[in-house]
Chain A
């Protein structure tokens, strides 16, 4: 019979792998994990939080810009998309980054419909990732609380 720790560890491993396989995360997230050590034990959580804050802020900017009906500043939207793309790529938020590519194209072609659609998708996607990473962090905490070590998951 598996101990609680072992169960949690297995859950953690499976969940992590699924996130990669489903395209939520990519190797940049792995890099983030590598940078976490005794000196910076909460590095991943810290950076990921910064990322989600970024998302909120940038999406807000873009929504406001797109709200200026008849006078949408697409370059402003575009620069926000660029920022979002940079953030997402640096934390390994693969799906968000992918959406940014499409989003950028809509901005370049000044397609209002396209931009609105992309914005909605980005919003959904980052929130979804946020929830999943939250679950992952919770699992980690449970493992630690149960006295176990967080397993190293090799993708």
Chain B
């Protein structure tokens, strides 16, 4: 079945694309394969089918451009669907995975391995009608040049490459202008997506100064109104910090302020989605207040519960409880706490100190400021999910890290799987059913997680378990972060590695939980908070896991900052999620030797 037909360009695709798109269908189940073939034929694709993955690999290797797309079952007992996936990826072919399993782990595994889509059997005609888009995505350049003009998909004048700012806009946001400009924007966006997705495979993205500038710019656009408040809060925090690091004092002092500021700040924040981005971005404020920035990020700078000044860091272990105490009232008071619950969590332990120092240095470079900004936005829009983690300790510890990745990682790991989160997030944000949230932020092409197609997926971050590789994430601030991010072999990464990656955090974190980041859109505007907002997958264990996840999410924050699209959406569900998180957190038993949640909350 290798009759190639009606080839009209050097790539073997017809001008009638997607008609005639050459699909290689692989499934060892003859019933399913025959049905799949018929479905594909109904879509007017050209179908080559085989029940043997070996045969499929042969065909792929024999002639590199024999097919436009591969669609393959993953659970073939005698053959390995993932092997096919690898080959397809090598050849830059889009590979769609088919499976009867729709559970989170399976989907995650498929996506992590680089599948450009994951379809659950039984597949419908509707789903298959749109798979051609994956071919376009992979070859966006040539399609623009060859196919699109012939089908009048682009304006007659050559498209102008758009900046990343434009890229951050969603296609449906570009409601202004005529059709051509809309299409142009979409094309540009998708072009960037395509380029970036192929870039993800081809080279590592570096968090360059340019990216950083863009990120900062985006954050600044998010709002500057709360800057003043934030400064005030930072000042208070600083005072409080300097006076004593004792748990009670800190908690009480800050808590009163916190509540005040929180209520005010939260109101403002919720309504205006403001970020004190500009203030955060100033170096002086960063270097001076950087510990508090983290904590304050959540409550618009008014909550510094998790803030630990560098000096204090050494005795951070004693300060762990204060945060717990602090946290408790915070949680009790407001359901609109943005990220603050996350903040109050225990500050990083001794591991943090190296980061503290680093932070200052980084601040000068403006990186940390962006991180802080992202934290802020996170705080404002997130529903303080981090607080709801059972492994508060881990979360707290990680949270205070200046470079964020550590804290993010830890925070994530301590996130409980909570069904309601998923539900909550889902209601607020939109995301494709098959999307991978975590990757969504990455869709901005800043980061790639294991080569997964980003931008299309929900933020579902699966913790490392036997099925899913650990996502190795490093903060964008680290030089080799992107490199790590780009590793495809997620399974080879493990928690230990994650710890090391993130700066020597070596306290044990549970690795057997699955944390799911739901609705990446939601997290986009939130930054760290979003990362902490993990909605558990129904099928996954309830224990928290994946420090990597946390880190990953954190990484996404800068990218997320650029989009506040979902902030408002999330605000509405904040208190629902918050309650759920809190409940979940309180219910979680410590399973890794950490301080119990209740204790951390001072209950």
Q: A54-B29, A54-B30, A54-B31 known; A86 and B121 CB under 8 Å?
A: yes
Least CB distance from A115 to B in Å reads 18
Q: Tell me the bound Cα distance from A90 to B35 in angstroms.
A: 7
CB distance from A39 to the nearest CB of B (A): 8
Closest to A35 in B: B38
Verify if A124 is at the interface (C-beta below 8 Å from B): no
B125 interfacial by beta-carbon distance below 8 Å:
yes
In the complex, what residue of chain B is closest to A89 when comparing beta carbons?
Answer: B122
Inter-chain CA distance A28–B34, complex, in Å, is: 14
- The answer to whether the Cβ of B100 comes within 8 Å of any Cβ in the partner chain is yes
Total B residues in contact with A, Cβ cutoff 8 Å: 18
Within 8 A of A (CB), among B322-371: none
CB-CB contacts below 8 Å: B75-113 with A = 75, 77, 100
B21 to chain A, nearest CB (A): 18
Select one of A31, A51, A89 contacting B121, CB under 8 A: A89
Contact with A along B24-55 (1 / 0, CB 8 A): 00001111101100110110000000000000
Question: Roughly how many angstroms separate A35 CA and B29 CA in the complex, as a whole number?
Answer: 19
Inter-chain CA distance A34–B125, complex, in Å, is 10
Q: Is B209 an interface position by the 8 A CB rule? A: no
- Minimum CB distance partner of B39 in chain A: A35
> Which of A12-20, A42-50, A128-136 lines the interface with chain B?
A42-50
Determine whether A102 belongs to the interface, using a CB cutoff of 8 Å to chain B: no
Query: Which residue of A is nearest B101, CB measured?
Result: A82
B107-138: CB near A (< 8 Å → 1, else 0) gives: 00000000000000110110000000000000
Q: Are A47 and B125 in contact (CB under 8 A)?
A: no
Q: Tell me if A119 is interfacial: C-beta within 8 Å of chain B.
A: no
Q: Are the C-beta atoms of A50 and B31 separated by less than 8 Å?
A: yes
In whole angstroms, how far apart are the Cα atoms of A85 and B34 in the complex? 16
Residues of B within 8 A of A50 (CB): 30-31, 34
Q: Please, how many angstroms separate the alpha-carbon atoms of A83 and B33 in the complex? A: 12
Indicate if the CB atoms of B100 and A79 lie closer than 8 Å.
Answer: no
The yes or no answer to A116 lying at the interface (CB within 8 A) is no
A47 contacts B35, C-beta separation under 8 Å: yes
Interface residues of A in 69-108 (CB under 8 A from B): 79, 82-83, 85-87, 89-91
Instruction: From A43, A79, A87, give the contact of B31 (CB < 8 A).
Output: A87
Indicate if the CB atoms of B38 and A90 lie closer than 8 Å: no
Establish whether residues B42 and A91, one from each chain, have CB atoms under 8 Å apart when the complex forms: no
Minimum CB–CB distance for B45 against chain A, Å = 14
User: For the complex, is A152 an interface residue (Cβ under 8 Å from B)?
Assistant: no
List the A residue with the shortest CB-CB distance to B98. Answer: A86
Given A87-B29, A90-B121, is A32 in contact with B35 using a C-beta cutoff of 8 Å?
Answer: yes
The answer to whether A31 and B124 have CB atoms under 8 Å apart is yes
- Cβ contacts A27-65/B at 8 Å (1 or 0 each): 010011011000110010011001101100000000000
A91 touches B100 (CB 8 A): no
Q: What's the Cα separation between A104 and B124 when bound, in Å? A: 24
**CB atoms of A43 and B38 under 8 A apart:** yes
CB contact under 8 A between A35 and B31, given known A79-B77, A82-B100, A90-B122: no
Find chain A residues with CB under 8 A from B39 CB.
35
Q: Given the complex of chains A and B, what is the CA–CA distance between A43 and B125 in angstroms?
A: 15
| Complex contact A46–B75 (CB within 8 A) | no
Known: A32-B35, A47-B34, A91-B35. A83 touches B122 (CB 8 A): no
Give Cα A50 to B42, complex, Å: 20
Q: How far is the CA of A53 from the CA of B122 in the complex (A)?
A: 19
> What's the minimum C-beta distance from A113 to chain B, rounded to whole angstroms?
25
Closest to A76 in B: B77
- Enumerate chain A residues within 8 angstroms of B32, measured Cβ to Cβ: 86-87, 90
Query: Which residues of chain B are near A53, meaning CB under 8 Å?
Result: 30
CB atoms of B34 and A82 under 8 A apart: no
Q: How far is the CB of B61 from chain A (nearest CB, A)?
A: 27
Question: Which A residues are in CB contact (< 8 Å) with B30?
Answer: 50, 53-54
- Could you say which of B29, B31, B77, B124 has the most chain A C-beta atoms within 10 Å of its C-beta? B31
Taking a contact as CB atoms under 8 Å apart, the answer to whether B75 and A82 are in contact is yes
Contact residues in B for A51 (Cβ distance below 8 Å): 31
Residue of A nearest to B77 (CB): A79
Closest B residue to A85 by CB, please name it: B100
B280 to chain A, nearest CB (A): 52
Q: Report B-chain residues with C-beta under 8 Å of the C-beta of A47.
A: 31, 34-35, 38
Given contacts A31-B125, A54-B30, A79-B77, contact A89 B38 (CB under 8 A): no
> Considering the chains assembled together, what is the distance between the CA atoms of A90 and B42 in angstroms?
16
CB distance from B51 to the nearest CB of A (A): 11
**Could you tell me the distance between the alpha carbons of A54 and B32 in the complex, rounded to whole angstroms?**
10
B122 CB contacts on chain A under 8 angstroms: 28, 31, 89-90
Please report the C-alpha to C-alpha distance between residue A34 and residue B124 in the assembled complex, in whole angstroms. Answer: 11
Interface hits, B484-514 → A, CB 8 Å: none
Give Cα A50–Cα B28 distance, bound, in whole angstroms.
13
**Given A28-B122, A31-B125, A79-B77, residue A86 in contact with residue B29 (CB < 8 A):** yes
Given known contacts A82-B75, A86-B121, A46 and B34 CB-to-CB distance under 8 angstroms: yes
Q: Shortest distance in angstroms between B103's beta carbon and chain A's nearest beta carbon?
A: 13
Most buried by A among B41, B122, B125: B122
Contact across chains for A90 and B31 when beta carbons are under 8 A apart? yes
A residues less than 8 Å from B31 (CB atoms): 47, 50-51, 54, 86-87, 90-91
| C-alpha gap A92/B539 in the complex (Å) | 25
Shortest CB-to-CB span from A124 to chain B, Å, is 20
Q: Given A87-B32, A90-B32, A90-B122, is A35 in contact with B100 using a C-beta cutoff of 8 Å?
A: no
- Known contacts A54-B31, A91-B31; A86 and B38 CB within 8 A of each other: no
Complex: chain B residue closest to A92, CB-CB? B122
B100 adjacent to A40 (CB under 8 Å)? no
Q: Which residues of B contact A91 (CB under 8 A)?
A: 31, 35
What mask results when residues 433 to 456 of chain B are scored 1 for a CB within 8 Å of chain A, else 0?
Answer: 000000000000000000000000
Taken together as a complex, chains A and B put the C-alpha atoms of A35 and B122 apart, in Å, by: 14
Alpha-carbon distance A47/B35, docked complex (angstroms) = 7
B125 touching A83, Cβ below 8 Å: no
**Min distance, Cβ B533 to any Cβ of chain A, angstroms:** 32
Distance, CA A46 to CA B34, complexed state (A): 9
A86, B100: Cβ atoms under 8 Å?
Answer: yes
CA distance A153 to B360 in the complex (A): 72
Q: List 7 A-B contacts (CB under 8 A).
A: A47-B34, A47-B38, A53-B30, A82-B75, A82-B100, A85-B100, A86-B100
Taking beta carbons and an 8 Å cutoff, which residues of B are in contact with A? Answer: 28-32, 34-35, 38-39, 41-42, 75, 77, 100, 121-122, 124-125
Known contacts A85-B100, A86-B29, A90-B32; can you find 10 more A-B pairs with CB under 8 A? A28-B122, A35-B35, A46-B34, A47-B35, A50-B30, A79-B77, A87-B32, A90-B29, A90-B31, A90-B122
The 10 closest A-B pairs by CB, nearest first: A87-B31, A50-B31, A51-B31, A90-B122, A90-B32, A35-B38, A86-B100, A90-B35, A50-B30, A89-B122
